[in-house]
Structure 1
Amino acid sequence: MSDAERSSGTGRLLTGLTWALLLLGLWLWGREVTELRQGTSGSATRDMAAVGRPPEPGLPPAARPLRDALPQRVDIPDLNVQAPVVGRGLDGRGAIDPPPFDQAGVVAWYAAGAKPGAAGTALMVGHVDTRTRPAVFYRIGTLHPGNRIRVARDDGRIAEFTVDDVEVVDSDRFDAHRAYGPRRPGRAELRLITCGGTFDRASGGYTANVIVSAYLTGTGV
């Protein structure tokens, strides 16, 4: 984006379309998960054999999920990111409410969903940039399978995740189930989501989302 766009009032707002898609996807996915839990109560147990198997050659096996604990900080060593985590709900449009722009170095965790390190898919969102500078998730699109993400929890443990997928998804091809649902039942998974693609001045937002998928592979203190 040009310097002129960066300085404009519209150039650095998160796209309403992008976050609305996040909202719609989250609502639909929440319904699917609820129905799945009610209708197939034994599925997660049967799929626990998948925990411990590498998802693809070269990646470590999945670790067993941890007990619930609140996230406090997310570290991405390969990007030199260390950011505090705040629990957020849904905004007026139903999208995950991101931190204010004056807190562009803060990551928002969807507090009604899974806790990082526990079974399920924990969702975290962050700004890609502000009107004047890059923000906390500016470079997450450069991650690749094998990179590590560490989440410090309030039980004193570090949930260590390994990236297994990075996607840039056009807004008109957004797949809610893939974005928010587990890639393998029984695992503890993590999604990092931000805006991506190009900035469309006509719509006032970005044309895509960056979605980083990771899974629990270890713990530390």
Structure 2
Amino acid sequence: MPSGPRPAGTGRLVTGTAWALLFLGLWLWGGGTVEGSLGSSGPTTGDIAAVGRPPGAELPPARAPLAPAEPRWIEVPSLGVDAPVVARGLDATGAVDPPPFATPGTVGWFGPGTQPGAAGAALFVGHVDTETRPAVFYGLSAARPGAKVLVTRADGSIAEFTVDDVQVFPREDFDATKVYGPREPGRAELRLITCGGTFDREAGAYTANVVVSAYLTGG
């Protein structure tokens, strides 16, 4: 969220800039191929603290990946997220195109990438706010390890994921490998991503991105 009131009419420009900065790394790094290993973030900046994975936290075991199926709906009960999902690709600048501002309650899924439940990391993106009100992932920074993420898929199944990590990646140190790469080879995972940190008026963008990681535990 921004650090203070913004001038009227700047919301779309601000959020669009943040998305472009966020996803340019995905375009340059492998043209949408999500491979690698997710590491930990450095010190957080702005008004959001990374919670990470608490020492000794007891989380359920991962289950084997499911057959691929596209997502249709996503729920994060602990955050009040209950939203339709639309497939998104890359825009003309090479950035992942987020959901339209006209539908701030919609979550975007990077369609050319991993399907949720299949092996790899499926990417879900949502706006944090619009010109006038909070958007679908406004409360994403409040996610905690152990929270459930439910994804209804095109085949009628519901893939259940468990959050195991929440991190904030400063814009200046954004690392596509750490954010987009699966944490464990062969495991079915997902990422929930939005803008975070504070609003930098001079740069016209948020200072960081909130990234929630989860892995498949049921379905």
Give the TM-score band, short-chain normalised: 0.7 to 0.9
Shift of 1:24: 2.9
Contact kept, 8 Å, 1:20 with 1:95, in 2: the verdict is yes
The 2-side partners of 1:131 and 1:118 are apart by 36
Q: What residue ranges of structure 2 are gaps of 5+ in the alignment?
A: 37-54
The 1-side partners of 2:179 and 2:5 are apart by 33
* Higher relative contact order (Cα pairs below 8 Å, separated by 6+ residues): 2
The 1-side partners of 2:80 and 2:205 are apart by 27
The 1:78–1:202 alpha-carbon spacing in structure 2 relative to 1, beyond 3 Å, is same
Contact kept, 8 Å, 2:8 with 2:131, in 1: the verdict is yes
Contact kept, 8 Å, 1:15 with 1:205, in 2: the verdict is yes
Per the alignment, residue 138 of structure 2 pairs with 138
Matches within 5 A, 1:166-185: 166-185=166-185
Over the matched positions of the two proteins, sequence identity in percent amounts to 62
Matches within 5 A, 1:147-166: 147-166=147-166
Shift of 1:19: 2.4
Give deviations 1:94-137, integer Å, cap 9, x for gaps. Answer: 12111111100000000000001111110010000011110000
Contact kept, 8 Å, 1:11 with 1:204, in 2: the verdict is no
Higher helix share: 1
Shift of 1:172: 0.5
Matches within 5 A, 1:83-102: 83-102=83-102
Shift of 1:158: 0.3
The 1:3–1:205 alpha-carbon spacing in structure 2 relative to 1, beyond 3 Å, is closer
Contact kept, 8 Å, 1:69 with 1:155, in 2: the verdict is yes
Give deviations 1:134-175, integer Å, cap 9, x for gaps. Answer: 000000111011011000001110010000110111100111
- Give TM-score scaled by structure 2 length: 0.84
3-state SS, counterpart of residue 20 of structure 1: helix
Per the alignment, residue 9 of structure 1 pairs with 9
- Give TM-score scaled by structure 1 length: 0.83
Equivalent residue pairs, number = 200
Shift of 1:34: 7.9
Q: CA RMSD in A?
A: 2.2
Higher Rg of the two aligned structures: 1
The yes-or-no answer on 1:72 pairing with 2:72 is yes
